[in-house]
Structure 1
Amino acid sequence: MARLFSLAAISFFFLAFQAVAGSSLPVTRSIGAPVGFGAACAKYKWLCGRMAAQQRKDGAGIGLLQRINRAVNLRIIPAEDRPSSGNRDVWSLPVAGRGDCEDYALQKMKDLIEAGFPSNRLALSVVIGPHDQNHVVLIARTDGGDFVLDNLTSAVRPWRMTGYTFLATQDFQSRTGWRVTLAGPRAGEFS
């Protein structure tokens, strides 16, 4: 009986994880892009353009996501935008090995595209992170759902398992556009 209960518990956990992992971020209407995104889009053609890439099986894709997430997190030193940039939030690839959250996310997107991950399955997302601050992460869309690559953790997790409230996400298809997301524990506060 105990063995049957254990098997049932494991099956339930696996199915629950699959349900969480297998979901895509909900998006609704269009919204203006965050400050700094337009300049980054003009500077980095891979950020907003479509690039041909081979399709990967999810098993290989998740491994690639984990490797890139860890490598970029280890390679970059956290640093806020330089005071010389004024009040503007500068979205760029890391400078001199330093960067803030959107710089990490941009570097991860660039590295994944160069490694063959389809650009139309990658999007930036603005979330409410730890300590109630705005934070930018990279979303990777797989057949198994949307996964988050984050500079605050080496773990690549399904979006529902991050604890973040998602506010707006780069449009996966129209790469220059952004969509309202409003998903996560505090989403009701913003609707």
Structure 2
Amino acid sequence: MFGLIATGFTLSAAEAAQPIRIAAATAMTVEGASKAPIGWVDFCKSNPADCDVAPAKATKARMTPARYAELDRINRMVNIAVEPVTDQELFGVEEKWTYPVSGKGDCEDYVLEKRRQLMESGWPRQALLITVVRDLKGDGHAILTVVTDKGDYALDNQADDVKPWFDTGYTFIKRQSQLNPNQWVLLGDGINPAGVATAP
């Protein structure tokens, strides 16, 4: 299933010329270290090859119209391919991060699949950060933040458009460190985060 949607990205002239929504107007504020979510810790126990990686220098992916269109394409295809269900419904547990190989999953599973496909497409791991937010209802939610030379973008199963992070309306809590995916950083103080997504 996902092997099919992870390959064969060809861009039409219109897609390649798609304007980039610049996300560099403001940046997330990193306040310090944070604990990794238990879902990530458990995911790493089941998928050690995905987590047993050496620390690397922070990298901003180079954003071009073609690369922006690729982000948009992968975000939309994974959103379409995966049916949203809770971990309780699917696995009978409160929290389980995994690849959505059954075609079903919750927000973290969408994020993991998008991250995997983007890395397979040549995007640097250090620029693809799993990020914990509070959504518009105030509920815990996960998105993929893509750090680029044009700013940070959000890939979200609740929205098909790739948006600058501050256009989501979310409150940003914490995300993976660019240096090491097994280390996490706090965005704000976790109670009143500095990374509240409001337009500048």
TM-score range, shorter chain: 0.7 to 0.9
1:53-88: per-residue Cα shift (whole Å, max 9, x none)? xx9641132121111101100100000003574554
- 5+ residue gaps, structure 1, are 1-16, 187-191
Residue aligned with 1:180, SS:
strand
Answer whether contact 1:105 1:137 (CA < 8 A) is retained: yes
Q: 1:165 aligns with which of 167, 171, 179?
A: 171
- 5+ residue gaps, structure 2, are 1-20, 188-192
Residue 184 of structure 1 corresponds to which residue in structure 2?
196
Residue 10 of structure 1 corresponds to which residue in structure 2?
none
Structure 1 residues 31-42: aligned runs within 5 Å: 31-42=34-45
Residue 153 of structure 2 is aligned to residue 147 of structure 1: yes
Q: Matches of 1:37 and 1:164 in 2, distance apart?
A: 21
Q: Which amino acid aligns with 2:42?
A: A
Structure-1-length-normalised TM-score: 0.78
How many Å apart are 1:24 and its aligned residue? 3.2
Structure having the larger proportion of residues in helix: 1
Residue 63 of structure 2 corresponds to which residue in structure 1?
58
Structure-2-length-normalised TM-score: 0.75
**Could you say which structure has the larger radius of gyration?**
1
1:18-40: per-residue Cα shift (whole Å, max 9, x none)? 4x534432212111111211121
Q: Which amino acid aligns with 2:184?
A: W
Root-mean-square deviation over aligned CA pairs: 2.4
Q: Which amino acid aligns with 1:184?
A: V
